[in-house]
Structure 1
Amino acid sequence: MTAITEAPVFELEVPYQGLAPTATADFNRDGFIHLSGVLSPETIAEYEPTITSEVIRLNTQHLPLEERDTYGKAFLQVTNLWRENEKVKELVFSRRLAGIAAKLLGVHAVRLYHDQALYKEPSGGITPWHADQYYWPLSSDRCLTIWLPLQETPLEMGPLAFARGSHNFSYGRDLPISDESEARLKQAVAEQNFEDVVEPFALGDASFHRGWTFHHAGPNRGTVPRRVMTVIYMDADIRVAEPTNDNQAADRGWMPGTAVGQVPDTPLNPVLYDGRVA
């Protein structure tokens, strides 16, 4: 693990004051929320260079864009950066961010599933319609992802977009992210009249979405990578469920040694926020 000198960034531990009184109810209704000023531009600037350098160092995708499949064109993907770099760990373990997740989920505490950097290169393709929880062998829907862009993200860079209310729609939950999920879910979203909500992100904005919320992103038509850090949080009391597909069976590796029916209380899944602890 790369050692770093201590960075004087305290915002990560200070509670976020921007949640409206209706935020939890809005999140439950819509399946997502877009929040402004989750982190200051100064804090983003403190961590973006390190995250980017780690993505470059750890990236294993070396095919030219034109030779990749749809998934490969969507983004460069590097997971559990917190285990590689202490500075990235500061961001991933932020009590501020985890506290937002707990409040939106309506739980007293959340633990880490894993983090994931998603970098959409210039001319990178679409991110097909999908729901993240297809991949997660978890016993409830009390889990979510923060999508934290590391630069301003105008529409031409392909910000994340959500089908409002689609987390209550069970069709398509058997689809991995693919050309098939793009075609079938795009049609289903239109047929069900779910609003496809796509908005630009200012620097410091972040979105949070539930595991079963269908979402997608457009191509990056900009000239620089669309750099995004994500963290998946789960109810601290959630349990591992029997996998329903091969991807879920593989994803049990993020919770090593945890049997079906057990809480994933492992060194890789620490509690990041507990509202009962001062």
Structure 2
Amino acid sequence: MSPFITSPFISEAQFTQFQQDGALCLRNVIPAETLQSLTEALPQAIAAAGPHHFKFGNPEEKGGFFGDVLVWQRVPAFRDFVWTGPLSHVAGALMHSRTVTFYHDFLLIKEGGTSKRTPWHQDQSYWCVDGSQALTVWMPLDEIPLETSLEFVRGSHLWNTLYEAVPFDSASRFNGSRDNRPAVPDIDAARADHEILKWALKPGDCLVFHCRTLHAAPGNINPNRSRRVLSTCWAGDDARYMEIKSDLAPPVKGDNLVAGGPLTCATFPQILPAPTAA
């Protein structure tokens, strides 16, 4: 038996595609009852928003952009999903890892009628995580048409560059410049030079992308359609805690972690293999 995590949703061809492209669309991964449970828990999640949540918007527009992290620590349905859902196995299989640590979740709601874009960025730029075995799963709770879906620069995870973390809003006090990393390239000014990947999605589908894949998302200007997404971030065998000078997102450093040491702790729990009871 292979010591590496496997998933029935990941074939050898999909693994190869992920390694080459840095992003992958998976269909019908999340059961309908799980989606219903998470959707029904959204009002509780928003009402119990944590200290690191944000809401951006333009005063003249109807909609806004809400985000919150570590929802799993406050809302049982989100915690159950992390521990018992299929995504830990999906992440482990695509990272080709023997272990899977859950780094954090990120609830992202773009209400109908907001032009607020998500800028081009890499997730790892915001993290206290070193290593190459780390990824994000972007899972919609609503149908996502192509024009409002996440988009990726194909193969950008292979550029061997960790870019500066950028704020999601011009009014944000987030500072990602203290580590003297290079600025994110102006992808929109040179789109013809890159292959841009994007997919329309339905609830149950998800996008998986490497922690260094450049990605962005447009606003949600349709006033009658929300874009509610749960992102979950996962780490594998080579992930290590890393001290950085820039602001973190989420601004959480775990529990008594040591630079260069394992990432796993109470805040960033190991999901696979399941820890044995003491």
TM-score (norm 2): 0.80
Residue 108 (structure 1) aligns with: 98
> What are the superposed Cα offsets for residues 88-108 of structure 1, whole Å, 9 maximum, x if unpaired?
101122352100001001111
**What SS does structure 1 have at the residue aligned with 2:241?**
coil
Matches for 1:219-234 after TM superposition, within 5 Å: 219-222=219-222, 223-234=224-235
Residue 51 (structure 1) aligns with: 42
Q: Assess, with a 3 A threshold, how the Cα gap between structure 1 residues 66 and 74 changes in structure 2: closer, same or farther.
A: closer
Residue 3 (structure 1) aligns with: none
Kept in 2, the 8 Å contact 1:236–1:271? The answer is no
Q: Determine whether 1:266 maps to 2:247.
A: no
TM-fit CA distance, 1:185: 3.4
Matches for 1:59-208 after TM superposition, within 5 Å: 61=54, 65-67=57-59, 75-124=65-114, 125-156=116-147, 158-170=148-160, 173-178=163-168, 184-187=186-189, 190=191, 193-208=193-208
**What SS does structure 2 have at the residue aligned with 1:219?**
coil
Kept in 1, the 8 Å contact 2:112–2:225? The answer is yes
TM-fit CA distance, 1:47: 1.8
Structure 2 residues without counterparts, runs of 5 or longer: 1-5, 171-182
> What are the superposed Cα offsets for residues 94-142 of structure 1, whole Å, 9 maximum, x if unpaired?
3521000010011111101111101111122111111111111222121
TM-fit CA distance, 1:201: 0.2
Matches for 1:210-221 after TM superposition, within 5 Å: 210-221=210-221
**What SS does structure 1 have at the residue aligned with 2:186?**
helix
> What are the superposed Cα offsets for residues 21-61 of structure 1, whole Å, 9 maximum, x if unpaired?
21211111000110000112332112212034312442755
AA at the equivalent of 2:166: P
Q: Given the alignment, which residue of 5, 19, 26 partners 1:35?
A: 26
Q: Assess, with a 3 A threshold, how the Cα gap between structure 1 residues 41 and 212 changes in structure 2: closer, same or farther.
A: same
Residue 254 (structure 2) aligns with: 255
Kept in 1, the 8 Å contact 2:145–2:200? The answer is yes
**What SS does structure 2 have at the residue aligned with 1:246?**
coil
Distance across 2 between alignment mates of 1:102 and 1:47: 22
Distance across 2 between alignment mates of 1:272 and 1:81: 17
Residue 6 (structure 1) aligns with: none
Distance across 2 between alignment mates of 1:252 and 1:77: 14
Comparing 17-26 with 168-177, greater Cα deviation is found at 168-177
Q: Assess, with a 3 A threshold, how the Cα gap between structure 1 residues 95 and 272 changes in structure 2: closer, same or farther.
A: farther
> What are the superposed Cα offsets for residues 203-240 of structure 1, whole Å, 9 maximum, x if unpaired?
20001111110001111123132111111001145211
Kept in 1, the 8 Å contact 2:55–2:65? The answer is no
Residue 177 (structure 2) aligns with: none
Over the aligned positions, Cα root-mean-square deviation in angstroms equals: 2.8
Q: Assess, with a 3 A threshold, how the Cα gap between structure 1 residues 276 and 77 changes in structure 2: closer, same or farther.
A: closer
Distance across 2 between alignment mates of 1:213 and 1:142: 12
TM-score (norm 1): 0.80
**What SS does structure 1 have at the residue aligned with 2:187?**
helix
Distance across 2 between alignment mates of 1:255 and 1:275: 19
**What SS does structure 1 have at the residue aligned with 2:247?**
helix
Comparing 50-59 with 75-84, greater Cα deviation is found at 50-59
Q: Assess, with a 3 A threshold, how the Cα gap between structure 1 residues 74 and 184 changes in structure 2: closer, same or farther.
A: farther
Kept in 2, the 8 Å contact 1:108–1:275? The answer is no
TM-fit CA distance, 1:19: 2.1
Distance across 2 between alignment mates of 1:48 and 1:24: 30
Could you say which structure has the higher helix fraction? Answer: 1
Kept in 1, the 8 Å contact 2:133–2:238? The answer is no
Q: Percent identity?
A: 24
Structure 1 residues without counterparts, runs of 5 or longer: 1-14
Q: Assess, with a 3 A threshold, how the Cα gap between structure 1 residues 134 and 95 changes in structure 2: closer, same or farther.
A: same
Distance across 2 between alignment mates of 1:177 and 1:169: 22
